[in-house]
């Protein structure tokens, strides 16, 4: 299939960016990133600057393949990362617009690469679990209800890609932060510092420049791991508890 790509090109964070058009030949069995590889090989052969974009595992795990494709983070396929999106979801002759995450807290480094280190600092603000669980058999000896364990596991599937921020009109990181809080706070080992952890992570989130939750639910829709916004409600309750000095 022949495609017309409109890709955001920006040499550096200080430079002005623009959309540039390219024609590329792809087949339906390629992933979106493989199609981008073909484009870059074409550009290199023409002695032009290749498009900078992030990638690592290409298995939907690492969360680095952050692209807004035709206005949607990670593209049109719900519950799918960019690297797992395949070209069979597009048609011959399609025009595809590819942009970086658009958020104040995610400044563009180059082309489609953005600085997501704010997420790292939010996690660091949460600190560590201080409860000693010993070896695996000791940890497994603590009884945890199946529903609680499942909720914690679902929250832990967050890969920190930032699609929630890119989808939110306010550039909020509430879904990401709540997922990180929930996967620790729902388990007994994480409850000891839960209230302090919530306050520290939310304060850091605000300091990084992320916006407030817009309540539109766009974050849940575009999240490739389909993290539930119920975690945001839990985060809000826990944050209020931290403000008013509650223990739970």
Q: 2: which residues sit within 8 A by CB, 6+ positions away?
A: 23, 24, 25, 92, 93
Its pTM surpasses 0.85: yes
Q: 104 near 173, Cβ under 8 Å?
A: no
The CA-atom distances, in angstroms, between 158 and each of 62, 77, 155, 229 are 10, 17, 6, 12
Are residue 86 and residue 48 in the same domain, yes or no?
A: yes
Predicted confidence at residue 248, as pLDDT, reads 45
Beta strands (DSSP E) in the chain are 2-9, 18-25, 68-69, 72-73, 95-99, 108-110, 113-114
- What is the rounded CA–CA span in Å between residue 226 and residue 177? 14
**248, part of any domain:** no
Sign of the CA dihedral running 234, 164, 59, 89: positive
Predicted confidence at residue 7, as pLDDT, reads 98
Could you list the residue range(s) of the whole structural domain that residue 173 is in? 117-243
Say if residue 131's pLDDT is above 80. no
162-214, pLDDT tens digit by residue?
A: 999 999 999 999 999 999 999 999 988 888 899 999 999 999 999 999 999 99
Q: How would you label 227-242 residue by residue, b for 16+ Cβ within 10 Å and e otherwise?
A: bbbebbebbeebbebb
Are residue 58 and residue 149 in the same domain, yes or no?
A: no
Are residue 233 and residue 127 in the same domain, yes or no?
A: yes
Q: How many structural domains is the chain composed of?
A: 2
> Tokens in use for 10?
């920006």
Domain containing 78 — which CATH number?
A: 3.10.20.30
Are residue 84 and residue 129 in the same domain, yes or no?
A: no
Are residue 101 and residue 190 in the same domain, yes or no?
A: no
């Amino acid at each position: 299939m022949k495609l017309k790509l409109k890709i955001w090109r920006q040499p550096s964070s200080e430079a002005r960016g623009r959309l540039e058009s390219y024609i590329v030949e792809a087949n339906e069995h390629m992933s979106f990133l493989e199609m981008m590889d073909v484009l870059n090989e074409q550009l290199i052969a023409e002695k032009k600057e290749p498009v900078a974009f992030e990638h690592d595992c290409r298995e939907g795990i690492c969360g680095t393949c952050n692209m807004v494709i035709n206005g949607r983070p990670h593209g049109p396929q719900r519950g799918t990362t960019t690297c797992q999106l395949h070209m069979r979801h597009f048609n011959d002759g399609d025009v595809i617009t590819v942009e970086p995450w658009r958020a104040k807290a995610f400044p563009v480094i180059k082309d489609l690469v953005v600085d997501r280190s704010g997420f790292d600092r939010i996690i660091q603000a949460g600190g560590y679990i201080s409860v000693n669980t010993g070896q695996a058999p000791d940890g497994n000896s603590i009884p945890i209800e199946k529903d609680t364990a499942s909720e914690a596991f679902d929250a832990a599937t967050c890969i920190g890609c930032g699609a929630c921020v890119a989808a939110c009109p306010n550039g909020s990181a509430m879904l990401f932060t709540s997922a990180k809080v929930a996967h620790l706070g729902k388990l007994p080992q994480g409850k000891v510092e839960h209230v302090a952890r919530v306050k520290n992570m939310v304060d850091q989130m605000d300091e990084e420049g992320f916006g407030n939750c817009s309540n539109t639910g766009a974050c849940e829709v575009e999240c490739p791991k389909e993290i539930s916004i119920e975690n945001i409600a839990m985060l809000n309750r826990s944050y209020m508890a931290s403000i008013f000095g509650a223990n739970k």
